[in-house]
A and B are shown apart, each in its own frame.
Chain A
């Protein structure tokens, strides 16, 4: 099996993989404008040059506690992607690498038909298991979060 190019990132301490094909760019998000009332995972809006991105915090989805709002608003590193014509910036702790991975099936314990449907498989990192994320489903899940 031929491996695929993946972007290795860390979200709330978890190592995750983004399909490089779906990553629009890697950005440094500046000031974030809050969007009160929006889905819980929405930190707010940020301008990326002349485009407006919706900044998402997906930590809760990965089972990690959210950052406090004040800290989230400061911005930081994010993975930009376009889903259904909308630009999203998924906040990450750090970006580590881009390399080729051979993805294996997700562990049996993970409910990949339900709550964890955004996990497409796993990759073997350095001394850890990396979760490969499906951007479309991840954004859909995050948007539905109350």
Chain B
């Protein structure tokens, strides 16, 4: 964690420095979108990092600033000078806090609430900038300097990559020069000279290792923060997740690791927040209750690929499109024309969130567009594979700018090549008798320990030159399958730095990069999957397809704990979803029990004697356009429904029968009977309280109207169609729907205090 904190501090400090220009520019021209975006990204990143570094004060400040900036980005707020000053004050405070953390001191949090409050100041009030409390000045530098360095405090500096590159090539030059020198000195055969050279040689090697380490880092460094991040993210949402990490030992350019850190954090958070379902929903979908997140790094050709695979719900592209359509109706035609892939890519659009509420975790979906920008800045690509209902795979592909690889040096087609050690299973000598090479048609097949593998000859592949029978075979193992690569000779294994080769060379399609070993002759690194592709090898899918012979899927049922403490079953197809509801969302009203959700009322099954106020979880049932909420204590698991059911005693009850699950008889709820037994099955019609007396009517008449089976509204929102309006006599003519006229004086047809007459009139209208 200390390492992470140090990196966070260094990074924040550096970004702040780079940002100071932007801030000044933004102050001068608050409408500057690009500057606004970069400031927004800064606070967003801080917010993200604080979450898992456990820095609540920084998190609070950055979250508040982010909210305000998001409102500006969304066009809901105009950046006036008061807002700009407030944001600047917060950014200053972030800088001060970061310095204080670095120094290991506490920092007085006076005025932080004020700083945050200043953000919310009503723009019209035009809070003078002076009223915003300016951040207290830094602790006296002298005092800081006097502060003794904490023991165990790891110090670090940041260097330009260019400088490191020069250092690295300088050391490589030195190694080559040493080798030349060594060759010549050996001819002289002076033992004293040789001893001196030996010493020089050792220190040069050591130096090279050190310098290489300054530039390279194992991908593990990038992954080390993820388990904690995934765990904390999941915990704060009440989900559980297992994180699987593979390929952490790939060594990568530090620069790339830094560039990938933010995108990776965002993607993992998004996967936990948006991708993985709640435990209950997962159980309902027949998945294990704990979500799985796999982060896999691998090298393919001249790319490093990091896959982040979740087994959540995937992306609902329909909702994505609907959301964009709602915000930007003018794009309707364009959106209609998109294919599924293009629809999926909409997720990268700026300011889009597939989620409507903002969570402290991944915020407002700012992630994906920023993630894409960051990855592309690193010269990489981001791609998505969506499996609706099954999960989402996000692949980050970044160019292999620099990597250290354990390589086998081999001879083939008259040239020396390198093959990644990792992809070679074994090397066999052809004349050893362990293998047999058979010509089959135009190609060759290798028979090795009873297994036939296709053989590829580089010379044949590239020039169609007739090749000599190979002397060695490298058995290459790819993810798709194995093949034998024909070799003329095998030299040795070396740890070498791989660098990208020029496009003119890469177009051969069989190289992954170039290396320069100590003898000073360049070597091309072979890309085994590229070779297999170029040779047109197709591998039988190792994975056996799920056999299609199962004719009848067993009916699945959800086992749940009912509110009366009994365990019951319901056919899972009848359950639309399992929903957690807020306290007070279920109420006893108008003679029935109702759940208010998504702005609508849904009837609640009250057969098991539920107490309205205690309901926290419901099963949402749907059939034939009707909706019903079935209150439960909790969902337990999905089980296959046994074929044998004992019929229930009461043919008209809501229990269809008894099933035996794990030796225990369990009642199976009949969803159709539930719907049939509904007191009011349909959605309640709307009653609009219209005109200047609306408030009075709401206060006095609402209970009466609700008792008559209506839902009361004061204004018509889009998509709603009131069945009837209620208005005072003289205003009734302008109402948008047929209206009941309430009269002000006693004795008129519908006097406004005559409860009985009002109920009668409303009921008559419904009928």
A36-B169 in contact given A52-B499, A54-B502, A143-B503 (Cβ < 8 Å): no
- Is there a chain B Cβ closer than 8 Å to A46's Cβ? yes
Give chain A nearest CB distance to B464 CB in angstroms.
12
Shortest CB–CB separation between residue B397 and chain A, in angstroms?
18
A37 to B507, CA, bound (A): 8
**0 or 1 for each of B510-554: is its CB under 8 Å from A? (1 = yes):** 110011100011111000000000000000000000000000000
B764 at the interface (CB under 8 A from A): no
From B414, B463, B504, B523, contact of A38 by CB (8 A): B504
Q: Which residues of A contact B175 (CB under 8 A)?
A: 50
Please measure, in the bound complex, the distance between the C-alpha atom of A84 and the C-alpha atom of B502, giving whole angstroms.
9
Q: Mark A107-146, 1 if CB is under 8 A from B, else 0.
A: 0000000000000000000000000000000010011000
Place the interface of chain A in its size category: 20 to 34
Q: A98 contacts the other chain (Cβ, under 8 Å)?
A: no
Nearest Cβ on chain A to B353's Cβ, whole angstroms: 37
**Are B522 and A33 closer than 8 Å at their CB atoms?**
yes
Give the distance in Å from the alpha carbon of A36 to the alpha carbon of B499 in the complex.
Answer: 18
Task: Contact check, B504 vs A42: say whether CB atoms are below 8 A apart.
Answer: yes
Q: Does B501 contact A (CB under 8 A)?
A: yes
Query: Given A45-B514, A50-B169, A51-B169, is A38 in contact with B521 using a C-beta cutoff of 8 Å?
Result: no
Tell me if B11 is interfacial: C-beta within 8 Å of chain A. Answer: no
Chain B facing A: main interface SS: mixed
Determine if A67 is an interface residue (Cβ-Cβ < 8 Å). no
* In the complex, A71 has a CB within 8 A of chain B: no
Specify which chain A residues have a CB less than 8 angstroms from the CB of B462 in the assembled complex: 36-37
> Does B508 lie at the interface of the complex (its beta carbon under 8 Å from any beta carbon of A)?
yes
Dominant SS among interface residues on chain A: mixed
Q: What is the distance, in angstroms, from A31's C-beta to the closest C-beta of chain B?
A: 6
Q: Assess whether B176 is in contact with A34, with CB atoms less than 8 Å apart.
A: no
| CB contact list, A83-99 vs B, under 8 A | 84, 86, 88
B175 (CB) vs chain A CBs: closest residue: A50
B170-197 interface bits toward A, Cβ cutoff 8 Å, 1 = contact, 0 = none: 1011011000000000000000000000
The smallest beta-carbon distance between B508 and chain A, in angstroms, is 3
| CA gap between A39 and B469 in the complex, in Å | 27
Asked whether A35 and B169 contact (CB < 8 A) given A45-B524, A49-B176, A50-B176, the answer is no
Which chain B residue has the least Cβ–Cβ distance from A32? B522
Q: Which residue of A lies closest to B173 (CB)?
A: A50
Distance, CA A139 to CA B500, complexed state (A): 16
A50:B502 contact, CB within 8 angstroms: no
Contact partner, B508, options A33, A38, A142, Cβ 8 Å: A38
The number of residues on chain B lying at the interface, defined by a beta carbon within 8 Å of a beta carbon of chain A, is 36
The reply to whether B504 and A143 contact each other, CB–CB distance below 8 Å, is: yes
What 1/0 mask marks residues of chain B from 448 to 466 whose CB sits below 8 Å from any chain A CB?
0000000000110111000
Give A134 to B533 CA distance when docked, in angstroms.
35
CB-based nearest B residue for A56: B504
Given the known interface contacts A50-B173, A52-B522, the answer about A37 and B504 at a Cβ–Cβ threshold of 8 Å is no
A47 interfacial by beta-carbon distance below 8 Å: yes
Bound form: Cα–Cα A35–B413 in Å: 10
- Closest A residue to B517 by beta carbon equals A47
Distance of A139 Cα from B522 Cα, bound (Å): 20
**At the interface, yes or no: B470 with Cβ under 8 Å from chain A?**
no
When the two chains form their complex, are residues B524 and A39 in contact, meaning their CB atoms are under 8 A apart? no
Cβ contact within 8 Å between B415 and A38: no
* Contact A52 B507, beta carbon cutoff 8 Å: no
B505-A38 in contact (CB<8A): yes
Q: How far is the CB of A114 from chain B (nearest CB, A)?
A: 20
Q: Given A47-B516, A50-B172, A51-B169, answer yes or no on A36-B504 (Cβ-Cβ < 8 Å).
A: no
B511 near A47: Cβ-Cβ < 8 Å:
no
* A38 proximity list for chain B (CB < 8 A): 504-508
Asked if B416 CB lies within 8 Å of chain A CBs, one says yes
Most chain A CB inside 10 Å of its own CB: which residue of B414, B416, B502, B505 = B502
CB closest chain-A residue, reference B401: A85
Partner of B514, one of A36, A37, A49, A52: A52
In the complex, the answer to whether A35 meets B458 with C-beta atoms within 8 Å is no
Cα distance, A95 to B59, chains bound together (Å) = 63
Q: Are B504 and A142 in contact (CB under 8 A)?
A: yes
| CB < 8 Å neighbour of B522 from A36, A42, A47 | A47
A36 B508 Cβ-Cβ under 8 A: yes
A36 vs B501: C-alpha distance when bound (angstroms): 13
Interface: B509 (CB within 8 A): yes
The answer to the question of A41 belonging to the interface, with a C-beta cut-off of 8 Å to chain B, is yes
A139 to B505: give the CA distance in the assembly, Å.
Answer: 12
- A31 and B502 CA atoms in complex are apart in Å by 18
- Knowing A47-B522, A49-B176, say if A37 contacts B169 (CB, 8 Å): no
Taking a contact as CB atoms closer than 8 A, the residue among A33, A49, A50, A88 that contacts B523 in the complex is: A33
Bound Cα distance A47, B521 (Å): 6
CB within 8 A of A54: which of B501, B516, B520, B523? B501
Cα–Cα distance between A41 and B503 once the two chains are bound (Å): 12
Q: Is the CB of A45 within 8 A of B522?
A: yes
A residues near B463, Cβ cutoff 8 Å: 36
Once the chains are docked, how many angstroms separate the CA of A102 from the CA of B523? 42
Minimum C-beta distance from B294 to chain A (A): 33
Task: Indicate which residue in A42, A46, A47 contacts B505 across the interface (CB closer than 8 Å).
Answer: A42
Among A34, A38, A39, A45, residue most surrounded by chain B Cβ atoms (within 10 Å): A38
Q: List 17 A-B contacts (CB under 8 A).
A: A38-B506, A38-B507, A42-B505, A45-B522, A45-B524, A47-B176, A47-B516, A47-B521, A49-B173, A49-B176, A50-B169, A50-B173, A52-B501, A52-B514, A88-B502, A143-B504, A143-B507
Residues of A within 8 A of B (CB): 31, 33-39, 41-42, 45-47, 49-52, 54, 56, 84, 86, 88, 139, 142-143
Interface residues of B (CB under 8 A from A): 169-170, 172-173, 175-176, 413-416, 458-459, 461-463, 499-511, 514-516, 520-524
Q: A34-B415, A36-B415 are in contact. List 5 more A-B contacts (CB 8 A).
A: A33-B524, A37-B461, A45-B501, A52-B501, A52-B522
The 4 nearest A-B residue pairs measured at CB: A37-B508, A50-B172, A143-B504, A45-B522
